[in-house]
């Protein structure tokens, strides 16, 4: 097979890789915000639950988690498709690591912002939603972009539960043609290009949010 013939299956796999990355990033981002805020401002039970979640998923292997969700859960009556298991595990991992990013960014917001919110009789939820989190979001983006790049690379793990993403497609092609160097060189290039698009997107988002934040302060 020629390089051009390799590209069809690899691009099909790349689309699935992108789908996994986007879905896990969306769900994981929501989990990160919820867990990060819960660890700081929840009651004792909520803080304990958030802390256990973060430490369990940061302290155990993502590959073992993936196998557990896909192979062990059906034994207790919970059946997930391979795609669902992959998204759940990737999102839970991103959320666990992202929770610490959120917590650090929120703590970095000057105390004067909280005091101003209290002076305006805002509740803690209102202060977080309207004042603190918008400012913290700008600080979150650089480390968040690194986590999403790691997420992109971790999508290769789901090939082990038969999701035909790009690594699975590459392994199938290699087994059929034995052209390992050519195939995996293309895979490296495709991963790199996707990562560069993600980096560019995060940088543009950071620039736009920073500009909006400065304009808001000016007014």
pLDDT at 155 over 80: yes
pLDDT of residue 218: 45
d(CA 144, CA 147): 5
Could you tell me the fold of the domain covering 3-218? Answer: MetI-like fold (1.10.3720)
d(CA 181, CA 188): 10
- The average confidence (pLDDT) of the chain is 87
- What are 49-77's pLDDT values in tens digits? 999 999 999 999 999 999 999 999 988 88
Q: What percent of the chain has pLDDT over 70?
A: 94
């Amino acid at each position: 097979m020629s390089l051009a013939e390799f590209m069809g299956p690899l691009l099909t796999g790349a689309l699935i890789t992108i789908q996994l990355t986007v879905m896990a990033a969306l769900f994981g981002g929501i989990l990160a915000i919820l867990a990060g805020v819960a660890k700081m401002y929840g009651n004792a039970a909520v803080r304990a639950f958030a802390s256990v979640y973060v430490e369990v998923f940061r302290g155990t292997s993502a590959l073992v988690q993936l196998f557990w969700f896909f192979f062990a859960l059906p034994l207790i009556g919970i059946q997930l498709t391979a795609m669902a298991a992959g998204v759940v595990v990737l999102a839970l991992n991103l959320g666990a690591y992202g929770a610490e990013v959120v917590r650090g960014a929120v703590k970095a917001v000057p105390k004067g912002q909280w005091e101003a919110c209290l002076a305006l009789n805002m509740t803690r939820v209102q202060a977080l939603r309207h004042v603190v989190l918008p400012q913290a979001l700008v600080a979150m983006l650089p480390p968040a972009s690194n986590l999403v790049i790691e997420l992109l690379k971790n999508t290769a793990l789901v090939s082990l539960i038969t999701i035909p993403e790009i690594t699975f497609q590459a392994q199938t092609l290699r087994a059929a043609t034995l052209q390992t160097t050519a195939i995996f060189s293309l895979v490296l290039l495709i991963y790199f290009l996707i990562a560069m698009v993600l980096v560019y997107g995060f940088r543009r988002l950071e620039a736009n949010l920073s500009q909006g934040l400065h304009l808001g302060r000016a007014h």
